[in-house]
Structure 1
Amino acid sequence: MGTRFISWISRSEKRSTKPKWIAFRSSRGFICFVVTIAVFTDVFLYGMIVPVTPTALQQKVGLSSDHEQKWTSILLALYAAALLAVSPVSGYLADRMQTRRWPLLTGLVALAASTSLLCVGNTLGLWIAGRIFQGASAAVVWTVGLALLVDTVGKESLGQFLGYTSMGLSLGAMTGPLLGGVIYQSGGYYAVFATAFAVIGVDIVLRLALIEKRHAAPWLESEKVSREEQVTHYSQETKSVATEADRTAIAEKPVPAVLRLLASPRLLSSLWSYFIIALLLASFDAVLPLYVQDTFGWEQTGQGLIFIPMSIPQLINPAIGAFIDRYPGSRRYLGAGSFVCSVPVYVLLRLVTHNSMQQKILLCALLTLLGVCIAVLIPVIILEINEIVEEEEKKSPESFGKGGAVAQAYGMSNAAFAAGSLAGPFFAGYIRTSAGWGTMAWTLGLLSGVTGLPVVLTVGGWIGTKSTGPAVEERVEA
């Protein structure tokens, strides 16, 4: 059944007539824009529901105020759990299907389903199902979307384009809760979801318009197609060319792609780094709103605005990605330096203790510095994962098949991020409750500093050794 479905998906991508505006719809700029909007939509809708949830649980579901915090936390955990469970599966299926467009559309269906369930949700069961579908949608968007960018964008520009995607994430995280609160106060509960469905409608049009480069190849100029086919992720020649050592290995039973990737210390280091980044971010999601409420007396609007200092630095992601593209060897030092430099910033958070203008300015300044460190780290880790996959594919092409394993690798990274998002609120919340804000701050700093060690040792290849680099160095721009 599964094989027939995959075959049907593959046949559906083969058109008998030339699509309109095919060059634009398959260009790397448009594909990057679609992926960025997909990420923005997913994060925007996730954040938009946050200020609505406590009131909805009380007024629509009928929970008492004593249970609001408990179920708000449970619903957040369910989102992370769905992200953790679905990410590896979506990566595996995307690589098997050899198409990215259909999984992206499937993720959009899950997002629309989750929004519908939350809109009509008057029972806990509907809210639980809605959050699970939302987590599944996020898993597909991040896994398949990043894999699609890798397929489309040349290695020399991958960091910059991933930076634009990270900008979409930051803008969604920043504007979602703010607009959700404003629209809820001015237009009511259903006005929030009307806005959500409008955003989904735009996303539907863009994802349907997208055409993958390899599916556009039959209608593009023959000489251009010939050059592109030599450098795309799905190139048959790149996959089939092997050294004598490779041919010997092919005679043996190939090791599954996931196991081969997990045997790489570099990938394990990257997954651990991604886990820690998610844990640090999720810790603030859980603790910071309550802390500014207790310390400064801020209500919902202030609790949402306090995340802006951490979000604004994400706008430099394209510049960071472009710098890494130009100087690939800088990844090791940028990654390790960001983890280590954030340690004193976390420790200094313990100085924020009372309600004054100076304390508010200090908190915003420290959060901005932490945002800068996170903005540097994310492109470093994402690009490192892509390079690891390319090097492993070069060593053992028979283990990865025609579709490669880039989606599976990003599926594992999403799973690591989801695990960190799941652990962060419990980790930081428990420490702050039992030992206080100051102890929580230096504990997060300790985790960040310790993570800098595997990063400096493994990113770009073991320190002191020269990385072999990806199998194909040159890529052709669309």
Structure 2
Amino acid sequence: MAPSSYLWHKLITTLQIAPDYSVPPAGLAWRSNSFFIIATVAVGLFSDLFLYGLVVPILPFMLDDRIGIPESEVQPYVSGLLTAYAAASVLFSPVAGVLADRVSTRQAPFLLGLLSLLAATVILFLARSMPVLLIARVLQGIAAAVVWTIGLALCLETVGSDKLGRTIGSIFSFISVGNLAAPVLGGVLYEKAGYPGVFGIGFAVLAVDFIMRLLVIEKKVAARYATKDPTSGDLDQHLRHERSHANGSAEANEETEETPLLSKKEQDYYRIAPNQPAIARRIKLLPCLKHPGLVTAFLISGIQAFLLGAFDATIPTVAEQYYSFSSLKSGLLFLPLSVSDFLLGPLFGWAVDRFGTKPVATAAYLYLVPVLILLRLPRPCPSSPSSLSLLASIYPADTPSTASLKTLAACGSQTREIAIWSSLLFLAGIGLAGTSAPSIVEAGTIVKSFHERNPDFFGQDGPYAQLYGVSSMVFSAGLTVGPLVAGGLKERIGYGNMNAVIAVVSAVTGIAAFVWIGGRARLRDVRNMRRLSWWRGEDAR
């Protein structure tokens, strides 16, 4: 082979453009290493959240500066743009899951998602009208659906369910840096360098993400090079290793008289009858949805996103209305909310692996209840026409100046009110940090149990991409509803009362987590599953 032909062949093989499994690509060992795969997923999720958070604090100013929307009318448009992102992700997540399960590797859809994110970032940078902004947010939502669906499926396939909690905790700790830094950087760069500064750093992050997604090689693809068999090395080999590891661990543990009976009941119920309808054979996750723990895991994920969307939609506008904050100061308010996730994410992930999903999810959501109620405490302090207008609505019988004096006497100083608000946001961040890992781990564990007991029905790869596609869809639905509900409630009943309503939602979610997910109450799960056995063709023996 001529040198030029050899180099070209080596290049396309290394980039997996035309894979030849008889010729290992350069760097196969480190490119298929578990750490590099997880790091690639983490960077992909980081990029999505970073670019999402980068524009959140500047959206009100972008709408005013570029689109010409009056300051008093900004809130509905901010909520609408946040909702467009989430709605696109809701609609595309199931599609991403189904497509990912039909292709031989995850890399191609992973790269396509990045192209969508790049296009969205370019359009956001150039947008001068509301329809163009909406198109950009929709493309961002599609990219988010792909990266979360493919990324979480890759995590499960790489580390297995027994280490998934710690892995997710570590990933979320890392990507929380995106949540932490993006709003602050967005505010700072917008104030100091304008739009080129804001989006320039976004393009730099995308460049790093592109290189890593291009280089990563999945475990099952790496195994094909080792065996020179393109059909080997898929997930069934990984699952067999997991099962043997789990069996060995089980033998080392002391068994009670109830354990064999409990295991038998679980195995009987997780089996799926062969006479499934056509839709279940196409969307193989559907028979798993009868498990109440899986449905509750999706609920927990959706409420987590609902809370995040509520904070994203209201913090910038409340900061401007209450305290006349600029984009820089509005961005800084996201710091106390995000730093908790950065510090405590791995700890909560470890707690899920050590103690189970039930105690962590229940404690996190019930802990948020009093914190959200206390978010009624911050008061507006007048220093701008917008805050005086707000005060006039609070004291309709008084003139703005009289209302201003009354509120100044009540709130003391703006510095104290901001300190109270920031402290409460930090406490809220602690609770939010505990809501990430339980839903992902619970859903992955349940579907893995179905997969192991029905290998012929699910095939080699299982329905994991479909699982995380639905999970991404539910999460995005929460991001869709959160800004709309929070923005609407804030306009109608005020910011404090809005948080009281959200506290009730958090309390109900905590109770649902306590009843239906995780822990050792598997006999209860079996009884519940028998009562909830709605899927046709299923015989709960």
Q: Same fold (TM over 0.5)?
A: yes
Q: How many angstroms apart in 2 are the aligned matches of 1:237 and 1:322?
A: 21
Question: 1:141 and 2:199 equivalent?
Answer: no
Q: How many angstroms apart in 2 are the aligned matches of 1:246 and 1:437?
A: 46
Q: Is the 8 A contact 1:249 1:396 kept in 2?
A: no
Deviation at 1:455, TM superposition (A): 0.7
Deviation at 1:231, TM superposition (A): 4.8
Q: How does 1:10-21 map to 2 (within 5 A)?
A: 12-21=18-27
Question: 1:338 and 2:344 equivalent?
Answer: no
Q: How many angstroms apart in 2 are the aligned matches of 1:227 and 1:421?
A: 37
Q: Which residue matches 1:181? A: 187
Q: Is the 8 A contact 2:75 2:317 kept in 1?
A: no
Q: Is the 8 A contact 1:159 1:383 kept in 2?
A: yes
Q: How many angstroms apart in 2 are the aligned matches of 1:421 and 1:335?
A: 19
Q: Is the 8 A contact 1:460 1:467 kept in 2?
A: no
Q: How does 1:351-370 map to 2 (within 5 A)?
A: 351-353=377-379, 354=411, 355-370=413-428
Q: Which residue matches 1:298? A: 325
Q: Which residue matches 2:459? A: 401
Could you state the TM-score of these two structures normalised by the residue count of structure 2? 0.76
Could you state the TM-score of these two structures normalised by the residue count of structure 1? 0.85
Deviation at 1:464, TM superposition (A): 5.5
2:375 pairs with one of 346, 349, 352: 349
Q: Is the 8 A contact 1:10 1:99 kept in 2?
A: no
**Residues 1:70 and 1:217: Cα distance change in structure 2 (over 3 Å):** same
**Residues 1:85 and 1:340: Cα distance change in structure 2 (over 3 Å):** same
**Residues 1:164 and 1:261: Cα distance change in structure 2 (over 3 Å):** same
Question: 1:95 and 2:101 equivalent?
Answer: yes
**Residues 1:252 and 1:74: Cα distance change in structure 2 (over 3 Å):** closer
Deviation at 1:143, TM superposition (A): 0.8
Deviation at 1:407, TM superposition (A): 1.3
Give 3-state SS (helix, strand or coil) of 2:518's partner: coil
CA deviations 1:337-379 (Å, max 9, x no partner) are: 1111221111122222334444333322222222111111211
Deviation at 1:136, TM superposition (A): 0.3
Q: Which residue matches 2:113? A: 107
Q: Which residue matches 1:169? A: 175
In structure 2, stretches of 5+ residues that fail to align are 1-14, 245-266, 380-410, 527-541
Question: 1:125 and 2:131 equivalent?
Answer: yes
Q: Which residue matches 1:308? A: 335
Q: Which residue matches 1:436? A: 494
2:294 pairs with one of 240, 261, 267: 267
Q: Is the 8 A contact 2:93 2:473 kept in 1?
A: yes
Deviation at 1:109, TM superposition (A): 0.8
CA deviations 1:179-233 (Å, max 9, x no partner) are: 22222333332233332222211111111110001111144599xxx99976525
Q: Is the 8 A contact 2:21 2:225 kept in 1?
A: no
Q: How many angstroms apart in 2 are the aligned matches of 1:405 and 1:134?
A: 25
In structure 1, stretches of 5+ residues that fail to align are 1-8, 469-478
**Residues 1:59 and 1:303: Cα distance change in structure 2 (over 3 Å):** closer
Code of the residue aligned with 1:25 in structure 2: it is R
Q: Which residue matches 2:8? A: none
CA deviations 1:408-432 (Å, max 9, x no partner) are: 1111111111111111122222223
Q: Is the 8 A contact 2:191 2:328 kept in 1?
A: no
**Residues 1:202 and 1:456: Cα distance change in structure 2 (over 3 Å):** same
Q: Which residue matches 1:286? A: 313
Percent sequence identity is 34
**Residues 1:11 and 1:390: Cα distance change in structure 2 (over 3 Å):** farther
Q: How many angstroms apart in 2 are the aligned matches of 1:247 and 1:124?
A: 51
Q: Which residue matches 1:322? A: 350
Q: How many angstroms apart in 1 are the aligned matches of 2:37 and 2:184?
A: 28
**Residues 1:387 and 1:245: Cα distance change in structure 2 (over 3 Å):** closer
Question: 1:411 and 2:461 equivalent?
Answer: no
Q: Is the 8 A contact 1:272 1:416 kept in 2?
A: yes
Q: Which moved more, 1:150-159 or 1:378-387?
A: 150-159
